[in-house]
Amino acid sequence: MTRVASLVDELTFDEKLELIHGTADPDGMATGYIPPIERLDIPPLRFVDGPLGVRVEGESATAFPASIALAASWNPDLAHKQGMAMAREARAYGQDVLLAPGMNIIRVPHGGRNFEFYSEEPLLSSRVGVGYIEGMQSAGVIAVVKHYVANNQETNRYAVNAEISERALREIYLPPFRAAVEEANVGSVMPGYNRVNGTHMSDHEFLLSDVLKGEYDFDGFVVSDWWGTESTVGAATAGLDVEMPGDTDPYDDLFSGDADDSDDSSIELPRGMGESALFGEPLREAVGNGDVDEATIDEKVRRLLRTRDRFGHFDDERSDGALDTPEHRRLARRIAVEGTVLLQNNGVLPLDDDTTVALVGPNADTAKLGGGGSSEVSPFTRTSPLNGLREHATEVLFERGVPPIAESSLFDTAGSNSNESDSDASLDAAVTAAETADCAVVVVQDDATEGTDREDLRLPGGQDELVARVADAADRTVVVLRSSGPVELPWAEDVDAIVASWYAGQADGDALAAVLYGDVDPGGRLPVTFGRSAADYPTGDEAAFPGIDDEARYDEGIFVGYRYFDREGTEPRYPFGHGLSYTTFEYGEPTVERDGDHIELTVPVRNTGKRRGSEIVQVYVHEDDLALPRPDRELCGFTKLRLDPGERRHASVTLDRDALAYYDEDDGWTVPVGSFTLLVGRSSRDVRGTATVEM
Ligand code: GLC
């Protein structure tokens, strides 16, 4: 008999219940905690947030760039490295489970948690998330992929019902979670707070049991979001395995504080907060009166213990981890650099070291670590744009221009890094500095947080006027955009360069200076479409977002992001996949080889510029003779090349038949017979060659 089977046999019913709902961590460090069963040598289980770095109460850890910046690197190997580093830091604090990655599709361009997610594109989200999870779990920490599924908005997040067609679920919203399970063998899945087609995700038997545990053969454990368990019998029957936080309320010192000393007024409070565990006494009663079989409880315990066994919790070889190492610091900087997207550049970049700079921006003297909410991290070290540029430039004049942009926070981690001196913000002083220096660098930012969606895509706090006034006065103007996703850029035609660095984490200013001065090539490509306004997106309509009477209709179906812009023929400000390098690339003719279901596309790429640069070759598939409506093109593969000046290499992208398939609600996954055009390019709109393949 296996160790797990014998443990399940030996556990009393009380002990089984203890294992499947949380309680307070006596050390006060873990976000979620399950006590030990000393009698059977089962150690305690500790869960900790979050996707951008380890958040342990009152402690510090490496603050990596936001997830959307990692996705903008289009580099799964880098994601793997981040996963490993974060696992080491979690182990250093004795934590066993990291509540990451967030892999929800970015459907709403001003979604409050977009910075914690990867992309509008399921394939890119899957590739990056799989790398991240494999890295994390290879270092001995259980990853929890979240928030399963279609948790795409913060407004009304505990009640909103996402009304979605099965085809859209299968082709857009489920694939990242399917990849996490089938490719990365993720140890745990966290359902979202929301409903899908009328049922709360914690109680969703079809999606938890039939799809996730059945079709995808997920053998780990499903852990609820915090107070995200809708019912006892419903959740226990549907396939929820562990309830968090259970009998405690780690935020109570926060939410029960005086309203005026924390801006949590913007964050909706969790619905079930402070109530006792639904998987405690109520579940005992449910088993007692026959509403839930004890066998169902055994299956939950088995899944939990089997996963813990897989990660060595019952042996002694647990790693001790490592915190804030030089390697982790270098990695945080590398991700920030590779995630930086050069949106436009008329040659003003890279800067020369002897260029005098007017650094303008309300928060340019603070690092933009991340957004508000459970993903907040307090780093050991951080570099602001001001400090980063001062390392490079001979002279940097600094002017806020407008008052600092407030940064929403669930805790006070981020608050401590901005000097709240509104008085020194003066537009005129910023304009004068811009007139004086050789080049103005304007650092602007949005404010995003869990629990609330942004108003729209506009920059807050008078920053648009600041950019316009500075651009008018300066010889050369570079804008640095530190955002959680797409932003309106009304002044784009009036400036010389725009760099999107997202929320770049602790290495913010260091990575920014390296990019602006050309020490490194900006390696990023957009993981989201930049429309001209929120109205350009399928969520422009109230019924779609935030929904009416608690129901958000996903009537756009599979036409999300660039798929929608293509169908509508809307010209985006910057298309999905867009990003410039400091050098240029030339593509040769793509060729395709097909061997049964294995398709390989090869295309020669040459660096035709004077500097080494990186290029992300993207392949999109277009079906020529449509049986069902399909997007004009869909990303089906990509690869990253680094080329020296003049160097020519063959990029190769392999596809399998699934890359060409669509989901038919009657027949399931279908690969039509017929011809497909493969579009090879630098973005979803910048196509450099095509090839056809017959299926
Ligand atoms: C939060 C978030 C989830 C987080 C959890 C623990 O409400 O939705 O992402 O991991 O609760 O903080």
Residues 16, 20, 23, 27, CA torsion sign:
positive
Same domain, 305 and 400: no
225 Cα to the center of ligand 1, angstroms? 6
Check whether residue 20 and residue 97 sit in a common domain: yes
Q: Is the CB of 31 under 6 A from ligand 1?
A: yes
Q: How confident is the model at residue 235 (pLDDT cuts 50, 70, 90)?
A: very high
pTM comes to 0.96
Based on the fold, state whether residues 75 and 163 are members of the same structural domain: yes
Please check the confidence at residue 256 and state whether its pLDDT lies above 80.
no
Per-residue pLDDT at 625 = 83
Place 266 in a pLDDT band, splitting at 50, 70 and 90. Answer: very low
Q: Which of 568, 597, 624 is the last residue of a domain?
A: 568
Q: Is residue 528 domain-resident?
A: yes
DSSP, collapsed to helix, strand or coil, labels residue 34 as strand
Give the pLDDT score at 57. Answer: 87
Tell me which residue range forms the domain holding 44. Answer: 3-248+266-310
Domains held by the chain: number: 3
User: Would residue 326 count as lying in a domain?
Assistant: no
Do 524 and 638 share a domain, yes or no? no
Specify whether 299 is located in the same domain as 348: no
Q: What is the pLDDT of residue 270?
A: 62
What residues contact residue 32 under an 8 Å CB cut-off, 6+ apart?
22, 25, 46, 47, 48, 97, 99, 223, 226, 244, 245, 246
CB of 67 closer than 6 angstroms to any ligand 1 atom: no
State the chain's maximal CA–CA distance in angstroms: 79
* pLDDT of res. 260: 40
- Confidence check: pLDDT of 417 > 70: no
Using DSSP's 3-state secondary structure scheme, residue 304 falls into helix
pLDDT in tens, 617-663: 999 999 988 878 999 999 999 999 999 999 999 999 999 888 999 99
Least confident range of 44-48, 252-256, 640-644: 252-256
In a domain, 335, yes or no: no
Catalytic site residue from 225, 264, 447, 496: 225
Domain shared by 44 and 100, yes or no: yes
Distance (Å, whole) CA 120 – CA 125: 8
Distance 241 CA to ligand 1 centre (A): 17
Which one-letter amino acid corresponds to residue 624?
Answer: D
Is 591 in the same domain as 525? no
Q: Residue 39: is it exposed, middle or buried by C-beta count within 10 angstroms (0-12/13-18/19+)?
A: exposed
Is the pLDDT reported for residue 495 higher than 90? Answer: yes
120 domain-assigned: yes
Residue at which a domain ends, from 568, 596, 629: 568
> Separation of 226 CA from ligand 1 center, angstroms?
6
**Interval between CA 151 and ligand 1 midpoint (Å):** 12
How far, in Å, CA of 293 to CA of 289, rounded?
9
Instruction: Answer whether residue 105 shows pLDDT above 80.
Output: yes
Domain-located, residue 113:
yes
The reply to whether 297 and 382 lie within a common domain is: no
* Contact (CB, 8 A) for 472 and 392: no
Residue 258 within any structural domain of the chain: no
* Average pLDDT of the residues of the chain: 94
Q: What is the CATH number of the domain that holds 672?
A: 2.60.40.10
> Between β-strands 477-482 and 497-500, what pairing exists: parallel, antiparallel or unpaired?
parallel
Q: Which atom of ligand 1 is nearest to the CA of 49?
A: 10
576 within some domain: no
Does residue 543 fall inside a structural domain? Answer: yes
Instruction: Give, using CA atoms, the residue closest to atom 6 of ligand 1.
Output: 226
- Name the residue at shortest CA distance from atom 12 of ligand 1: 374
Mutation to probe ligand 1, out of 31, 95, 225 (largest number of atoms < 8 A from CB): 225
Alpha helices in 93-161 (DSSP H): 122-138
Q: Is 241 found in the same domain as 190?
A: yes
446 is catalytic: no
3-state secondary structure of 617: strand
According to DSSP, the β-strands at 477-482 and 439-445 are parallel
> For ligand 1, is residue 374 a contact (CB within 6 Å)?
yes
Q: Is the pLDDT of residue 559 over 80?
A: yes
Q: With 70 as the cut, is the pLDDT of residue 269 above it?
A: no
Question: Do residues 89 and 225 share a domain?
Answer: yes
For residue 20, give the CATH number of its domain.
3.20.20.300
Residues 411 and 297 in one domain: no
Question: What is the average per-residue pLDDT within 409-427?
Answer: 66
Does residue 277 sit in the same domain as residue 378? no
Domain boundary among 517, 537, 568: 568
The CATH number covering residue 546 comes to 3.40.50.1700
Residue 154, ligand 1, Cβ within 6 A: no
- Please identify, by atom number, the ligand 1 atom nearest to the C-alpha of residue 102: 9
